[in-house]
């Protein structure tokens, strides 16, 4: 890994310890450039298998199917925060990471439905309205309008 301070090509691991509650490892690294010597921390964690094909968009469009990608999951979560631009910017990535780590710890080979259900679950704990927008966008609920034009959820 390169140095975060001077971009020197070599750093060494000075210390490492496994995370107690999840499948991750903290490492203390030190830059090997004698005029820098900066120490910094990295966190290594498993990534979800990118061979799994996932629907990110509306269920009916086949072109929205693609290999799992944390950035795409982040974008699909961000799309559920049209009502809260601050939360969208601050929390979309960490919510996507939470979904990814939950899937890794709970499901051996997650399907597109598992990912949608887990994302909905995580969003629901965080923001009901975002969860509802996500659910509507992923066919988990159907929003129809009654005769007076009010939305109703099935
Ligand atoms: Zn350095």
pLDDT tens profile 9-50: 999 999 988 877 767 889 999 999 999 999 999 988 888 766
Tokens of 128: 């009901």
Distance 27 CA to ligand 1 centre (A): 16
Distance 139 CA to ligand 1 centre (A): 49
**Sign of the C-alpha dihedral, residues 19, 72, 77, 82?**
positive
Tell me the β-bridge partners of 153: 143
Taking residues 116-145, report their average pLDDT.
88
Taking residues 54-63, report their average pLDDT.
56
What is the value of pTM for the model shown? 0.69
Distance 26 CA to ligand 1 centre (A): 19
Distance 36 CA to ligand 1 centre (A): 5
Residues with CB under 5 A from ligand 1 (ion): 3, 5-6, 8, 31, 33, 36, 38
Question: If we measure between CA atoms, which residue out of 70, 132, 61, 71 comes closest to residue 101?
Answer: 70
Distance 39 CA to ligand 1 centre (A): 8
Tell me the β-bridge partners of 18: 25
Helices of type H across 3-84 = 70-78
């Amino acid at each position: 890994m390169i140095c975060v301070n001077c971009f020197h090509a070599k750093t060494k691991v000075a210390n490492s310890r496994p995370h107690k509650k999840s499948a991750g490892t903290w490492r203390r690294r030190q830059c090997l450039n004698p005029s820098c010597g900066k120490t910094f921390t990295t966190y290594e964690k498993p990534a979800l298998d990118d061979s799994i094909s996932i629907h990110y968009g509306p269920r009916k469009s086949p072109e929205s199917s693609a290999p799992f990608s944390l950035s795409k999951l982040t974008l699909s979560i961000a799309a559920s925060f049209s009502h809260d631009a601050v939360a969208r910017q601050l929390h979309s990535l960490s919510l996507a990471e939470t979904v990814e780590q939950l899937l890794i710890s709970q499901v051996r080979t997650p399907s597109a439905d598992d990912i949608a259900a887990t994302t909905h679950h995580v969003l629901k704990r965080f923001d009901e309205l975002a969860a509802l927008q996500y659910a509507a966008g992923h066919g988990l609920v159907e929003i129809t309008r009654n005769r007076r034009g009010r939305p109703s959820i099935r």
